[in-house]
Amino acid sequence: MLVEIRGAADTYSALVGSGLLGQLGESAHKYLPRKTCAIISDSNVAPLFADRVKRSLTSAGFQPTLITIPAGEKSKTFKQAGAICDQMIVAGLDRQSFVIGLGGGVIGDISGFVAAIYHRGIPHVQIPTTLLAMVDSSIGGKTGVNAAAGKNLIGAVHHPSLVIDDVDVLRTLPRREFNQGFAEIIKHAIIADAAMFGTLQSWKASDAPIRLSLRIGFALQSLIRRNIEIKSKIVAKDERDRTGERAILNFGHTVGHGIERAGDYQEFLHSEAVSLGIVAACAISIKKVGLPCDQRDAIVDLLRRFDLPTQLPRDFPREKIFEALPYDKKFESGNIRFVVTPRIGSAHLSSDVTLDDIREAVASL
């Protein structure tokens, strides 16, 4: 499946399918008539897939250099990006080279940032290997690294030249990582696609090991494609996050970020915290914009089906969630811009949500 992504200035393609890693050389030839490239990957992903990627590139005439960094969010730093650039210089990569990011969102973000700054910008190919990276972080052009003061504070907008989503790589993804991708998929359904919400509801609980079934494998490809379309359409309206249209992608993220931080980034994975943030955003949407209670119940039910959390543990330090909120970029100039949904399939920003509304929603989590 081919998805054409049209932005204000850039147009690129996302290929979604099975067996795509083996055909990478051919695809890269078509989209990037260059010779040398860096494959940036992490210590979990490189042993699984880097050989396949390298072989395919080499047999198509490319000269790839593999650069592996330790797996995990701690690697997403300016220092690590600098070290990668140094290795690329030593390997003789230049303005005519390109960068491939082979991994989850961490690798997508840091490799994209390296591509944005190396020789003032060279092409980037995203090969996401987590579901979250396929449906979310590989699309939209946001690249960057974390600073001591917060996540994603240093970065650049640098769209990829090509995105390759090979669903076969998802077979080795730990179950918890796989499920967290569904929090972002359910978010997309709530903000923009009631029909996709219905499709997800129709997947029976017995389909849970979906990544292993061929039939569902195809359904998963269609789902990934649909999510790429949803995110890229929203991004195209507001690439630089200026008009507020892109901000609806942050549905569930205001409280989600607070929970992530309050749990010291240990207790919940990012999208698990977002799942809880979605439940809080639903409570606020009921109060402020009349989201019907049965729609909130359907959302909670769907999140649970993917083993996503919808209630905070009793002893969770709830107060800490609010300490984190002022750092959130949605609190710009003291006005809370909170994303609400009046009904599944639609969302908008509201400046009518107060800190007390958020407190009430968190108290009921």
Site residues for ligand NAD per CB under 6 A: 42, 44-45, 48, 71-73, 76, 103-107, 109, 129-130, 132-133, 136-137, 140, 142, 151-152, 169, 172-173, 177, 270
For helices 270-289 and 175-192, angle between their N-to-C axes, nearest 10 degrees: 30
Are 77 and 137 a contacting pair, CB within 8 Å? Answer: no
CB of 171 to ligand NAD, least distance (A): 8
Q: Would you say 155 or 342 has its CB closer to ligand NAD?
A: 155
CB of 89 to ligand NAD, least distance (A): 25
Beta bridge partners of 240: none
Choose the one of Zn ion, ligand NAD, none that binds residue 132, judging by a C-beta under 5 to 8 angstroms depending on kind.
ligand NAD
Kindly indicate which of the ranges 118-126, 163-171, 272-280, 290-298 contains the residues binding Zn ion, using the contact rule CB under 5 A.
272-280
Number of other CB atoms surrounding residue 203 within 10 Å: 16
Kindly indicate which of the ranges 5-13, 76-84, 224-232, 266-274 contains the residues binding Zn ion, using the contact rule CB under 5 A.
266-274
CB of 363 to ligand NAD, least distance (A): 28
Q: Would you say 156 or 298 has its CB closer to ligand NAD?
A: 156
Choose the one of Zn ion, ligand NAD, none that binds residue 177, judging by a C-beta under 5 to 8 angstroms depending on kind.
ligand NAD
d(CA 2, CA 201): 26
Q: Would you say 87 or 152 has its CB closer to ligand NAD?
A: 152
Q: Would you say 107 or 286 has its CB closer to ligand NAD?
A: 107
d(CA 303, CA 344): 14
Choose the one of Zn ion, ligand NAD, none that binds residue 238, judging by a C-beta under 5 to 8 angstroms depending on kind.
none
CB of 84 to Zn ion, least distance (A): 24
CB of 200 to Zn ion, least distance (A): 17
Q: Would you say 142 or 261 has its CB closer to ligand NAD?
A: 142
CB of 276 to ligand NAD, least distance (A): 16
Task: Draw the binding track, 226-265, toward Zn ion (x: CB under 5 A; -: no contact).
Answer: ----------------------------------------
